[in-house]
Amino acid sequence: MAVVFERPKALSDVPFHYCPGCTHGIVHRLVAEVLDELGVVGQTVGVASVGCSVFSYNYFDCDMVQAPHGRAPAVATGLKRSLPDNVIFTYQGDGDLAAIGMAETVHAATRGENITVIFINNAIYGMTGGQMAPTSLPGQVTQTTPYGRDTSVAGHPIRVCELLSTLSGTALAQRVTVDSVKNVNIAKKAIKKGFENQINKRGYSIIEVVSTCPTNWGLSPQEAMKWLQDNMLEYYPLGVYKDVTAEGGNK
Amino acid sequence: MAEKVLMKGNEALAEAAIQCGCRHYFGYPITPQTEIAAYMSKRMPKIGGTFLQAESEIAAINMVLGASSAGVRAMTSSSSPGVSLKSEGVSYIAGSDLPALIINVQRGGPGLGGIQPSQSDYWQATKALGHGDFQMFVLAPSTIQEMVDFVKLAYEVGEKYRVPSMILSDGMLGQMMEPVEFPEKNDQDIPEKPWATNGHQNKRKKNIINSLYIEPQELEDLINERYQRYELIKENEQRAEEFMTEDADIIVVAFGASSRVSRSAVHMARAQGIKAGLIRPITLWPFPDKTIKKSMDTASKYLVVEMNKGQMVDDVRLVVEGKKPVEFFGRTGGIIPTPDEVLAQIKKLAGKEE
Amino acid sequence: MAKITINETLCKGCGLCVSACPKQILTLSKEKMNSKGYHPATIIDMEKCIGCTSCAIMCPDVVITVER
């Protein structure tokens, strides 16, 4: 018998602090597998953001820089401009990327920075205990929308892939999820495309992963996956929103 | 003899940075320092460097954080309101033990304030540019030549002790022109940074640049170690100019633009038989307490002249410990005091009021 | 012929592997509890395992190794 599945080398041998059933763990593993398969761990520098994944600097076996909340794309820009032949990625949640960091996100994309952005969209602020996120759904109950998100007061959620797909600097904007083996495999392919784009200097790649937060949604891991399927995918349809290679724009 | 070039302060500073090996500038336009960005935008592309006009001063300081993490010499510049935006980033840079060069060309504040020169960011630079226990190495030039010379010093001290450095300039120095000389080969001996996150290439353990330490004891230990480095800086890196202080009875203490005015006032006072002198702090942090303490042997009174409502005067009073009177004179709002105004204050202290 | 190994110390009993297994041979073992207080995943019948790696792919804590 041969080993057909084991822990990727780029994932440090450190137990995750994430809640049971939190999809962060799946996505971390996919990023690590991709870095291993592309053989780029030695030249990779990851930028950790602020949120549940703040300790990601402990989980990836490459050089890591911890950025202030929302600023990861700017830190990544400083790194990439200084180390143009290295592989730079950010790993961000919905508050980090689409609330406090919205300007940094839009401008890194419009500049076409050759970085890869992994965006975990679980429609809530996990680390701070379940407050509304820019991606929380209308009517969704959170700690700061205890009666359900009222769009007349709190506005409507932001669809990040759609937003960034309007920018010329964006090479890839793809929304995926990890609720099934089939979708995990699609997510991994998208992440790989995002890193390949960087290596081929095609511009900014973002892979938005529709994710669960069982703890703050108040659901079991399996119930959370069902809530994702029933509610989130309608508002956040999976798919490719921009892909310069598909358009024949292979810069 | 090296060539003399007539340059505007902002541009001389930018050129000096390039000659020190800085190849990455991230900035944003704001009066009165936009010339730094404009100069960099012309020079950097020609030498294969990075000029990036960031989306905000916040983004710019975070780009510096990234570039410094990569181990390169990077720089950002702004003026007072923009420097406030950098607070968070500077705290993270200091908490991550990164060198970085930040330029503040001060203007009138608070708020949008004015666009004329001031010195009202002294507290911000020396006490509180960001949350938490930390310090930056702060230099106060008073001539364009010093603007040029201090860039190298700022990088060297920053890299030696792993602290961010600030050059605290002001709108007058930024805009005026003076002849300057650029030393030859100013980018030699840039130290290696084994702690930098530039890709481990599978040849070393991974590096982490971080300021988060969840375990309180670990955080305290780190801060204590950092403060030991600060003690070394205080011991070894204080700098100040002493002008006619050997027999001075009344000592004016002033930095930057107000020191130029004060120097003229001291000349005028001496011409009228008053034994005046000037101590000009060059490092604002570490504060040159050794120089001031030494002067207490002969001085009987101190006059602190600033373009603010009284910020450095507190530090002078702390050093003097109430043993001699320390008076303050300041103008604010963007107004530069005149030598006559300062002379009038000196004469008041000398008991020779008109 | 296939075999999986589950690291019971690191398993958080989330159950995603149980849902993912096409042969339904995984369960959260009520009889066992690890030092973190979780019921770890256990394989009911290793003979029926086809080594599809579905459980390992869905596991957020990378506790499953698969051999085939």
* Strand residue runs (E) in A22-74: 44-48, 63-66
Q: Do A57 and B72 touch (CB under 8 A)?
A: no
How far does Cα A106 stand from its chain's mean position? 15
When pLDDT is cut at 50, 70 and 90, the band that residue A247 belongs to is low
Report strand pairing: B74-78 vs A44-48: unpaired
Partner-chain contact A74 B58, CB within 8 Å: yes
Query: Looking at residue B109, what is its pLDDT?
Result: 87
CATH number for the domain that contains residue C52: 3.30.70.20
Q: Is A142 exposed, middle or buried (0-12, 13-18, 19+ CB in 10 A)?
A: buried
pLDDT tens by residue, B296-330 = 999 999 999 999 999 999 999 999 999 999 999 99
User: In 3-state terms, what secondary structure has residue B337?
Assistant: coil
* Residue A40 three-state SS: coil
Question: pLDDT-derived band of residue B225, with 50, 70 and 90 as boundaries?
Answer: very high
Torsion angle in degrees (nearest 10) through CA of B27, B28, B31, B32: 0
pLDDT value of position A251:
37
Chain A partners within 8 Å of B68 (Cβ): 78
How do strand B240-243 and strand B276-281 relate by DSSP bridges?
antiparallel
**pLDDT level of residue B230 (50, 70, 90 thresholds):** very high
In this model, does residue A137 exceed pLDDT 90? yes
- Average pLDDT of chain B? 96
The dihedral through the CA atoms of B174, B180, B186, B191 has a sign that is: negative
- Would you mind telling me the total number of residues written for chain B in this entry? 354
Q: Subunits with at least 3 CB pairs below 8 A relative to chain A? A: B, C
What's the pLDDT band for B2 if we cut at 50, 70, 90? confident
Q: What is the pLDDT of residues A86-133, one digit of tens each?
A: 999 999 999 999 999 999 999 999 999 999 999 999 999 999 999 999
Of A48, A74, A87, the CB nearest to B63: A74
- Are A80 and A121 within 8 A, CB to CB? no
Assess whether pLDDT exceeds 70 at residue B76. yes
Q: Which of A43, A58, A74 sits opposite B201 (nearest CB)?
A: A43
Residue A250 has pLDDT above 50, yes or no: no
Neighbouring CB atoms inside 10 A of B194's CB total 8
HEC secondary structure over C22-58: CCCCEEECCCCCCCCCCCCEEECCHHHCCCCCHHHHH
Give the pLDDT confidence score for residue A248 in this predicted structure: 56
Domain boundaries, chain B: 5-189+210-236, 240-349
- pLDDT of amino acid B188: 86
Report yes or no: B33 and B23 within 8 Å, Cβ to Cβ. Answer: no
Report the pLDDT value the prediction gives residue B325, as an integer from 0 to 100: 97
- Side by side, which strands form the sheet with A3-5? A3-5, C64-67, C3-6
Helix (H, G, I), strand (E, B) or coil at A39: coil
What is the tens place of the pLDDT at every residue in B338-348? 999 999 999 99
Higher pLDDT, B1 or A11: A11
| Contact state of A67 with B62 under an 8 Å Cβ cutoff | yes
Say if C59 is an interface residue toward chain A (CB within 8 Å).
yes
* Out of A48, A75, A107, closest to residue B66 by CB: A75
Residue of A2, A7, A20 with shortest CB distance to C14: A20
* Cβ within 8 Å, pair A4-C14: no
Query: Is the Cα dihedral B274, B280, B285, B286 positive or negative?
Result: negative
Name the packing angle between helices B57-69 and A72-82 (round to 10°): 50
Residue C37 confidence (pLDDT): 95
Alpha carbons A201 and C18: distance in angstroms, whole number: 41
Task: List, in order of start, the domains of chain A with CATH numbers.
Answer: 24-243 (3.40.50.970)
- Tokens representing C63? 């506790």
Tokens of B158: 């920053």
pLDDT digits 0-9 by tens, A207-226: 999 999 999 999 999 999 99
For residues A156 and A175, what is the distance between their CA atoms, to the nearest angstrom?
19
Average pLDDT over residues B264-274: 97
Query: Residue B251 forms beta bridges with which residues?
Result: B277, B302
The parent domain of residue C40 ranges over 3-67
Mutate to test the interface with C, among A3, A4, A29 (most CBs of C within 10 A): A4
The fraction of chain B above a pLDDT of 70, given in percent, is: 99
CB contacts, 8 Å: A61 with chain B: 206
Within 32-51 of C, beta carbons closer than 8 Å to A belong to 38, 51
Q: Report how far apart the first and last C-alpha atoms of chain B are (Å, whole number).
A: 48
Could you tell me the two tokens for C4? 């999986």
Question: Of all residues in chain A, what percent carry a pLDDT higher than 70?
Answer: 98
Dihedral of alpha carbons B205, B208, B213, B214, sign: negative
Query: CA-to-CA distance for A87 and A65, rounded, in angstroms?
Result: 13
Q: List, in sequence order, every residue forming a beta bridge with B7; answer none if it has no partner.
A: B178
Phi, psi of B219 (to 5 degrees): -65, -40
Instruction: Give the minimum alpha-carbon distance from A19 to chain C in angstroms, rounded to a whole number.
Output: 8
Distance of alpha carbon C17 from alpha carbon B274, whole angstroms: 88
CA torsion through residues B344, B346, B349, B350, sign: negative
Identify the CATH homologous superfamily for domain B5-189+210-236.
Thiamin diphosphate (ThDP)-binding fold, Pyr/PP domains (3.40.50.970)
The answer, yes or no, to whether residue B242 has pLDDT greater than 60, is yes
CATH topology of domain B240-349: Rossmann fold (3.40.50)
Interface check for B202 against chain A (CB to CB < 8 A): the answer is yes
The pLDDT value recorded for residue C1 is 87
Q: Which residues of B touch A53 (CB under 8 A)?
A: none
User: Are A82 and B70 within 8 A, CB to CB?
Assistant: yes
Q: pLDDT of chain C along its 68 residues, tens only?
A: 899 999 999 999 999 999 999 999 999 999 999 999 999 999 999 999 999 999 999 999 999 999 99
As a whole number of angstroms, the distance between CA B252 and CA B259 comes to: 9
Cα gap B120→B122, rounded to integer Å? 6
The tokens of B228 are what?
Answer: 């030991």
Question: CA neighbours within 13 Å on the CB side: how many for A50?
Answer: 17
Q: What pLDDT, in 10s, does the model give residues B86-99?
A: 999 999 999 999 99
> Bridge partners of B90?
none
- Beta carbons of A62 and A45 less than 8 angstroms apart: yes
pLDDT in tens, B114-143: 999 999 999 999 998 899 999 999 999 999
Instruction: Return d(Cα A199, Cα A203) in angstroms, integer.
Output: 9
B353 pLDDT above the threshold of 80: no
User: Domain count of chain C?
Assistant: 1
Measured between alpha carbons, how far is C68 from C58 in angstroms, rounded to an integer? 18
**Fold identical between B5-189+210-236 and B240-349?**
yes
CA B256 to chain centre: 9
For residue C13, what is the DSSP state? -
pLDDT of residue B185: 84
Q: Which residues of B164-186 are buried (b: 16+ CB within 10 A; e: fewer)?
A: bbbbbbbbbbbbbebebebeeeb
Of A65, A103, A107, the CB nearest to B66: A65
Q: Please report which residue ranges of chain B form alpha helices under DSSP H.
A: 9-19, 34-46, 57-69, 80-85, 87-95, 122-126, 144-161, 171-175, 216-236, 256-271, 289-295, 312-320, 339-349
Determine the Cα–Cα distance for residues B126 and B308; give it in Å rounded to an integer: 15
pLDDT of B34 over the 70 cut: yes
Would you state the pLDDT for residue B277?
98
DSSP string, A95-122: HHHHTTTHHHHHHHHHTT-S-EEEEEE-
pTM summary value: 0.94
Tokens of B231: 């003690």
A132 Cβ partners below 8 Å, 6+ apart? A124, A125, A140, A142, A143, A144, A145, A149, A154
- B147-157 pLDDT, tens per residue? 999 999 999 99
pLDDT at B274 over 90: yes
Q: What is the pLDDT of residues B197-218, one digit of tens each?
A: 999 999 999 999 999 999 999 9
> How near does any CA of chain A get to the CA of B66, in Å?
4
The CA radius of gyration of chain B, in Å to the nearest whole number, is: 21
User: Which tens digits make up the pLDDT trace of A224-238?
Assistant: 999 999 999 999 999
